[in-house]
Structure 1
Amino acid sequence: MCFNLDSLSYDGKELSVSVFKNDSTDFAFYVLLAGKKIDAKWYSGDPVSKLEIYLLPKKIYSLRLFFRPSSEETKEEEKIVKRIFFKVDEFNVTSVIPEINIFESENIKITNYSQGSNITFVTFNSAHTDKTSAPFGGDFILSEGWNLISIHKHNRNQYQDLSLELFESYVKPLITDKKVYVYGTSLGGYSSLYFGGVINATIIAGSPMLPVHPMINHSHYKDIIYKHIPIKETIKTSKPVFVIYDPLENGDVNFIKKYVASAYPTAYFLPVKGGTHLVMETLIKKRLLKDVIRDLVNHDSFSAINRITVAIDS
């Protein structure tokens, strides 16, 4: 039995969700905006469920579906979870942004969300995620009307089961004639630097770090085999490289100096004093991140640095 969305409609007051499921299964759903739950509908045995909710046009919403056997005693691991991105227009017509799974193995998953844009973002999820996690930056990227290719790793794998050759073979055919940006933070930032060159993308990396790297040798990942070659030995992009980091975070600075700057000595380094390793979250709290990313899409590092400096010093 296929448990999934059948149809989605909105009349300006109610969101109607219809699903494929069997009679012995209940379903519930959350509606999220910018990754935050704004409302929810509890489990129902009916294949159609409605929620009174106000939706803004042109915003990207995430619909999270939960399927479970018809029992209050259902364990969390027994539930089936599906995530769907959608938007409504000024006439309340709903549009689901299709998720196409282009590659999946035990530890790696690559999904594609196309909106017909000439701009495509390739994003890497961070360390504490798995194949079911939301795409990094997905809500914002899709809200801008851009395409998204999301790279997921499973559990503690650190993308060590994703080779440069595999990444290139699945991603490169999807970005022909597109302006391409590779984006991530921490593990995702490191991965953006590592993989971005083989598709000649503009790279936006926040606090790049690879815990399984021999320099760090983090005890939590001691059973994970380090398979990557040094970044300086990878194919380099001819496009701009932007590294956003906290110059007061010694661990990040040391890693950047030894492994990032040696690979990309002409990169643009954007300091965020006091941003900590979670520098992207700091920029979100300061309500800066979206505008900074828009600046960097326009290759305007001056405006991005000025925006950050003014906000941090004020």
Structure 2
Amino acid sequence: MKRKEGHYIKASSKGLKALEEGLFFYPDNVDLNRMMAEYYYNNRIWNQSVHYWEKVIAKQDYKPNIKDYINLAKALNKEKSYSRTIEIISELLMNGYRNPEAEYILAKTYSLNNDYKKAISAWEKVFRDNQFKAIEEDYIEISENYNKVQNYDKSVEILKKGLEKYESTTILSKLVEVTLLLQNWEESLKYFEKYKTLNKDKGEALEIDMQISMIQQLLGNYDDADQKLGDVLSGGINTEQLYRQLNIFNNGDTRIEFYKKLERNKKVIIVFDSINITWDRKPFAFKLLLRQDVDIIAVRKRKKSYLQDLSFGDFYSAVNTLVNGYEKKYAYGFSLGAYASIYYASKLNCKILALSPRLSIHPDFGKEIQKGKGFVHEREFQYNKDIEPIIVFDPKNKLDKNYINKGIKPYFPNAHFIESAYSGHGVAPHLLKMGLLKDFVIKFLQDEIPYYDKKLRGKSSSYYRVLGDACLKRNKPKWALSLVEHATYLEPDDNLNMRLKIHVLNRLQKHKEAVNFARYCKQIKKSDRTIRSLLIDSLVYMNDLKGAQKEIDEYMQKFGKTPGITKKEQELKANGLEQSSS
């Protein structure tokens, strides 16, 4: 039986059933919708709460109820609908309805939405309000936003204000973190010492002392660092994790990490990531190096890039004093990392192991399609006759051979060059498959010249694939097929082996076999665009234009309309028109 609206409002305390009945009869009643929104919010059913708050807001045509807007924003944030929160709060504030809580929610939501510049602007407005009572977490949150845009000075400034109000270990640890990135080592040390006075836990105190020892190294106080390290080791620090880490540089795109082993080491190695390794993964060769008697400095990238954002000056400022505290200093890298090890570490007179150095954007020695794009480093290496870098490369690879002969040899007259014919550019994975990579690194760290044992090439699928590719280019497809099939036998799931085999089968006019093999490969390597593209080509060779179009449609559905696939579709349509006209 339908009753008056007031009855259902009064009966709402009885629970959901009364509210549902009331809304059935009066779906536009603002009070009932508001109560339903509150009910779902209190029961943590965020999407339903948002639904009813939106209905409440929609009925406020004239003067809005600011509290309703704030409650909707809170529900939206619980649902992680940050863009909608920003939309409704911005609309409220732009219409002249100033409200400190709304401004506070907007600042926090910009942060949650990773819109750091707008978050900073909103937070600064909040902090300018003399009535605002910032809690400890607010100082930390605005500092994190400053950090995201590399404004570390402002981050330190706001954290210092927070420290005046809250003598907090959390704020102190953040101050250590940011002053390290500013390379204000003395300040970092001061805050760590202060942190230690506030923390009475013995285990935590040992961890703090370990960090202090590392900062003393950065300052060049090597004796103090060694003494502190001795105290930490004798004090019984937890050795479950073999190292401790400090980030000592971060410009937003490149980060330099210092890994100190829980032992006294006389050696340090600087490792540079290859092009596809980013800082969300462990550094290049990390597991292997952890088992050696070395401390590690890792130069990392946020995303795939060519390290052009890292100047030698910034690199030098971050690591020079640190590495000079060791008796021996080394550098190691593969491909981009090998180039970087020569470019940066040769100026520190490090011993260098560089596996197939390459910089694809180098204006003289890069790939033709990429030459000079974004390149800002010095064009030539600095001449250095005092070091003897070990450089491993494939002399059959034209790009790498040219770089070695013209871009590296003239500048390092005492370098040792180890040739790994038919390894391809991928020298590091080739050595790994041969079982030699570990031995190369260990010999290098023992100041020996590694030996490349050609007899072990038979273990590497890369050798057979690269040799097969060379045969194909010399118009010997039958030899190429034999070699690539052996490569596939050694490593059945390798993308490069699969691609070459499809090429070879098509060269031999075995198009049906190429199609069948490509379809098999597509099922295993679902995200390999090249394999899908080769399948389309194979179908065209078979004159199966419908099959090719079907694969193109599937490609576009999965990867979108890329320039390459769009061109294939245009060629396919042109091919189809020619056939129909003939």
TM-score by length of 1: 0.65
The residue aligned with 1:214 is 363
CA distance in 1 between partners of 2:314 and 2:239 (Å): 38
- 1:181 paired to 2:327: no
The worse-fitting range, judged by mean Cα deviation, of 124-133 and 203-212 is: 124-133
Does the 8 Å CA contact 1:112/1:150 hold for their aligned counterparts? yes
- 1:278 paired to 2:426: yes
1:276 corresponds to which letter in structure 2?
G
Per-residue displacement from partner, 1:166-194 (whole Å, max 9, x unpaired)?
A: 11111111112421111101111111111
1:188 corresponds to which letter in structure 2?
G
2:250 corresponds to which letter in structure 1?
E
- 1:231 paired to 2:380: yes
* 1:152, distance to aligned residue in structure 2 (A): 1.1
1:22-37 paired onto structure 2 within 5 Å: none
* 1:124, distance to aligned residue in structure 2 (A): 0.6
Q: Do the aligned partners of residues 297 and 223 (structure 1) sit closer, same or farther apart at CA in structure 2, a change above 3 Å counting?
A: closer
CA distance in 1 between partners of 2:286 and 2:422 (Å): 26
1:39-188 paired onto structure 2 within 5 Å: 94-115=240-261, 116-178=264-326, 179-188=328-337
The residue aligned with 1:265 is 413
TM-score by length of 2: 0.36
The worse-fitting range, judged by mean Cα deviation, of 131-140 and 199-208 is: 131-140
1:191 corresponds to which letter in structure 2?
A
Q: Do the aligned partners of residues 309 and 111 (structure 1) sit closer, same or farther apart at CA in structure 2, a change above 3 Å counting?
A: same
How many residue pairs are counted as aligned between the two chains?
A: 228
Q: Do the aligned partners of residues 293 and 93 (structure 1) sit closer, same or farther apart at CA in structure 2, a change above 3 Å counting?
A: closer
Larger of the two Rg values belongs to structure: 2
CA distance in 1 between partners of 2:284 and 2:348 (Å): 19
The residue aligned with 1:287 is 435
CA distance in 1 between partners of 2:305 and 2:314 (Å): 16
RMSD between aligned residues: 3.1
Q: Which contiguous aligned blocks of 4+ residues in structure 1 show a shift greater than 3 angstroms?
A: 216-224
* 1:143, distance to aligned residue in structure 2 (A): 1.4
Does the 8 Å CA contact 1:168/1:198 hold for their aligned counterparts? no
CA distance in 1 between partners of 2:322 and 2:385 (Å): 17
CA distance in 2 between partners of 1:262 and 1:93 (Å): 46
2:457 corresponds to which letter in structure 1?
I
CA distance in 2 between partners of 1:278 and 1:227 (Å): 25
More strand by share: 1
Query: 1:229 is paired with a residue of what secondary structure?
Result: coil
Q: What residue ranges of structure 2 are gaps of 5+ in the alignment? A: 1-43, 45-77, 80-112, 114-237, 460-582
2:270 corresponds to which letter in structure 1?
V
* 1:245, distance to aligned residue in structure 2 (A): 0.9
Query: 1:194 is paired with a residue of what secondary structure?
Result: helix
- 1:240 paired to 2:388: yes
Query: 2:330 is paired with a residue of what secondary structure?
Result: strand
* 1:218, distance to aligned residue in structure 2 (A): 4.2
* 1:154, distance to aligned residue in structure 2 (A): 3.2
CA distance in 2 between partners of 1:235 and 1:265 (Å): 9
More helix by share: 2
1:192-203 paired onto structure 2 within 5 Å: 192-203=341-352
- 1:311 paired to 2:456: yes
